[in-house]
């Protein structure tokens, strides 16, 4: 069912590109009603326009808070043209129909990213705009709603193609976009209040997001996928891609995992290698090249086709090493010119500058079919005051620093997690096994394969307690001399006895770090 556009109401905060649609509306002799700044802009562009206050006979009031909230406006939008009673009521009141509504909202999103002034933020919560949008979107059978300046070209084409009319399919599609916008807008406001009031788990939780880009596919080629940004500044991710193919779903998954790990090293020079959302090499060292080499040495086979993240600038030396290896993505806080030229020789290598990336979210979400889990991020490692040195031999201050490093890495390994470290570098990682003993075996197997000489006097970290002594026995027998774990098993005493017998050192943290 096509609907002729006779009268349009335009009220936009963003005046850009108005001339695109005004030209078309003028061609088909559409009467235009507008308010405030939009009215002035339309007049300046040389088009005739009736001001809302003249149309309704009611002046704007309360500093512009009330201008389009009027029965003549909303009856014109909401009345059903096929309903005789509606038509009679409109005739009696002498209220004409409104056929096209073009509205965008006060820039709440922009203000909130640039201001901490609560009064200014609240004044930029739009009321009249969303009210008109919802009304027009509800009555899409009769009215067309347009909320985005990027749709002006499509709108102009729709009107031209249909000789001044619009199709029902187009109106319904634009209605769906409009309700998406009002939900997005309200969600941003609700989340702002929750943040302001420090409400982490409100009774009703809304998650807003703007599609940043469509991805080629999801985890697998038969799955469709897109990347959304859930932030008031939704123009970018803070990741600046300098070269290579487009980033995939799996790339992003590994990138975000590696950035989480990297952020935990605050002042230390660190290299993190991630494959399938699991770290397979992590090292901190004052020297970037040593950090890089040690991280890669942990498991060079798993690093094949992985993501490498560095919190330092990539120089020519490291770039030459990278070019000899097959990796999907390199993340770094900048690239020297020579290094960038070297890396760009590999056309498929995604080169990403993370200098502008900032972590903002304090919660994580896992979505299921009809529900989702929301929790605080695991930001702690352990409280040093709560550590229990349960064996006869106690760690030194230097060993305590590496114990903290090892236990921190275990947070990011899929459970059950066992991490072996030596000199602030991982040498073996066992991840994602239902049995902790199997994770111990895998970590040792990796270490024996690539860095057997470093197992002796190494540190083993476990994300949860050992339910039996077998895992501890396997670690100690291989040469591990320090074990850090939460403790809390009914067999803790038996496990401590095994460590004491081997003259090993064991520390209980009292903190578990499951990561599923």
- Model confidence over 374-424: pLDDT tens digits? 999 999 999 999 999 999 999 999 999 999 999 999 999 999 999 999 999
Question: At the topology level of CATH, where does 384-508 sit?
Answer: Cytidine Deaminase; domain 2 (3.40.140)
Q: Which of 74, 138, 177, 205 is catalytic?
A: 138
Q: Residue 128 above 80 pLDDT?
A: yes
Show Cβ contacts of residue 239 under 8 Å, excluding neighbours closer than 6 positions.
Answer: 255, 331, 352, 353, 354, 357
Query: 15 pLDDT band (50/70/90 cuts)?
Result: confident
Catalytic residue, chosen from 70, 276, 316, 346, is 276
Q: What integer best gives the mean pLDDT of the chain?
A: 93
pLDDT band at 124 (very low <50, low <70, confident <90, very high): confident
The separation between CA 181 and the C-alpha centre of its own chain, rounded to angstroms, equals 19
Residue 114, pLDDT > 90, answer no
The residue ranges of every structural domain in the chain are 3-196, 239-353, 384-508
Residue 61: the pLDDT is 62
pLDDT tens-digit readout, 165-220? 999 999 999 999 999 999 999 999 999 999 999 999 999 999 999 999 999 999 99
Does residue 427 contact residue 449 with C-beta atoms inside 8 Å? no
What confidence tier does 369 reach under pLDDT thresholds 50, 70, 90? confident
| CATH number for the domain formed by residue range(s) 239-353 | 3.40.140.20
All residues at 6 or more sequence positions from 249 whose CB lies less than 8 Å from its CB, including other chains:
215, 217, 218, 219, 223, 225
Predicted pLDDT at 109:
83
Q: Does residue 418 contact residue 429 with C-beta atoms inside 8 Å?
A: yes
Res. 63: pLDDT tops 70: no
Could you tell me the pLDDT band of residue 72, with boundaries at 50, 70 and 90?
confident
* CATH 3.40.50.620 assigned to 3-196: no
Please name which of 111, 155, 154 lies closest in space to residue 13, comparing C-alpha atoms: 111
User: 230 vs 35, 202, 213, 400, CA distance in Å?
Assistant: 32, 17, 13, 38
**Does 222 score more than 80 pLDDT?**
yes
Per-residue pLDDT band at 3 (split at 50, 70, 90): confident
Over the stretch 154-173, which tens digit does the pLDDT of each residue have?
A: 999 999 999 999 999 999 99
Per-residue pLDDT averaged across 52-73, rounded? 76
pLDDT attached to residue 129: 86
> Is 516 tagged catalytic?
no
Residue 84: Cβ within 10 Å count: 8
| Structure confidence at residue 233 (pLDDT) | 86
Question: Where are the extended beta strands (E) located within 194-277?
Answer: 210-215, 225-229, 240-243, 270-275
Q: How much is the average pLDDT of 63-68?
A: 70
Residue 509's pLDDT is 97
- Residue range 476-500: average pLDDT? 97
Q: What are the tokens at 125?
A: 């919560």
Q: Are 258 and 359 in contact (CB under 8 A)?
A: no
Sign of the CA dihedral with 294 first, then 299, 305, and 309 last: negative
Whether this prediction's pTM lies above 0.75 is answered by: yes
| Residue 307 scores a pLDDT above 90 | yes
Annotated catalytic, 346? Answer: no
Helical packing angle, 470-478 and 492-501, nearest 10°:
20
Distance CA 75, CA 132 (A): 11
Give percent above pLDDT 70 in the chain: 99
Interior angle at CA 480, CA 384 and CA 512, nearest 5: 40
Say whether 384-508 and 239-353 share the same fold: yes
pLDDT single digits (tens) 324-348: 999 999 999 999 999 999 999 999 9
Residue 120 has pLDDT above 80, yes or no: yes
**Are 268 and 250 in contact, with CB atoms under 8 Å apart?**
no
| Residue-wise burial string across 45-61, b where 16 or more C-beta atoms lie within 10 A, e elsewhere | eebebebbbebbebebe
pLDDT given at position 64 = 67
Q: What pLDDT, in 10s, does the model give residues 438-450?
A: 999 999 999 999 9
């Amino acid at each position: 069912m096509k609907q002729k556009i006779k009268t349009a109401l335009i009220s936009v905060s963003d005046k850009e590109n108005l001339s695109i649609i005004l030209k078309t509306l003028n061609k088909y002799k559409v009467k235009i009603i507008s308010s405030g700044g939009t009215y002035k802009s339309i007049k300046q562009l040389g088009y005739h326009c009736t001001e809302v206050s003249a149309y309704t006979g009611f002046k704007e009031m309360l500093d512009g808070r009330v201008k389009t909230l009027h029965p003549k406006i909303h009856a014109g939008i909401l009345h059903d043209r096929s309903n005789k009673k509606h038509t009679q009521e409109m005739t009696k009141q002498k209220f004409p129909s409104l056929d096209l509504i073009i509205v965008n909202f006060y820039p709440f999103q922009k203000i909130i990213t640039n201001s901490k002034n609560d009064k200014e933020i609240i004044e930029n919560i739009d009321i009249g705009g969303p009210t008109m949008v919802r009304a027009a979107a509800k009555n899409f059978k009769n009215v067309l709603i347009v909320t985005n300046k990027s749709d002006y070209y499509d709108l102009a084409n729709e009107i031209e193609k249909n000789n001044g009319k619009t199709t029902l399919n187009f109106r319904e599609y634009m209605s769906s976009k409009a309700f998406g916008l009002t939900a997005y807008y309200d969600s941003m406001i609700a989340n702002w209040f929750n943040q302001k009031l420090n409400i982490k788990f409100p009774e009703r939780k809304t998650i807003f997001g703007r599609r940043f880009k469509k991805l080629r596919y999801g985890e697998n080629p038969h799955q469709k996928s897109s990347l959304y940004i859930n932030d008031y500044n939704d123009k970018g991710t803070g990741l600046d891609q300098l070269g290579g193919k487009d980033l995939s779903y799996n790339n992003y998954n590994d990138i975000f995992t590696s950035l989480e790990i990297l952020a935990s090293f605050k002042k230390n020079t660190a290299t993190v290698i991630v494959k399938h959302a699991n770290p397979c090499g992590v090292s901190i060292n004052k020297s970037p090249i040593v950090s890089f080499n040690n991280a890669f040495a942990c498991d060079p086979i798993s690093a094949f086709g992985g993501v490498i993240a560095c919190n330092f600038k990539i120089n020519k030396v490291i770039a030459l090493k990278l070019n000899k290896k097959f990796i999907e993505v390199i993340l770094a806080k900048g690239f020297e010119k020579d290094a960038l030229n070297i890396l760009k020789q590999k056309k498929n290598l995604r080169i990403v500058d993370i200098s502008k990336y900032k972590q903002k979210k304090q919660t994580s979400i896992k979505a299921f079919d009809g529900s989702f889990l929301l929790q605080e991020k695991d930001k702690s490692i352990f409280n040093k005051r709560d550590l229990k040195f349960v064996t006869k031999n106690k760690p030194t201050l230097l060993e305590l620093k590496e114990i903290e490093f090892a236990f921190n890495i275990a947070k990011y390994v899929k459970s059950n997690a066992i991490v072996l470290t030596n000199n602030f570098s991982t040498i073996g990682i066992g991840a994602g096994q239902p049995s902790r003993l199997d994770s111990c075996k895998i970590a040792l197997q990796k270490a024996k394969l690539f860095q057997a000489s470093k197992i002796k006097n190494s540190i083993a970290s476990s994300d949860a307690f050992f339910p039996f002594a077998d895992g501890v026995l396997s670690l100690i027998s291989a040469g591990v001399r320090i074990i850090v774990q939460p403790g809390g098993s009914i067999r803790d005493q038996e496990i401590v006895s095994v460590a004491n017998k081997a003259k090993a050192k064991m520390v209980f943290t009292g903190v578990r770090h499951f990561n599923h």
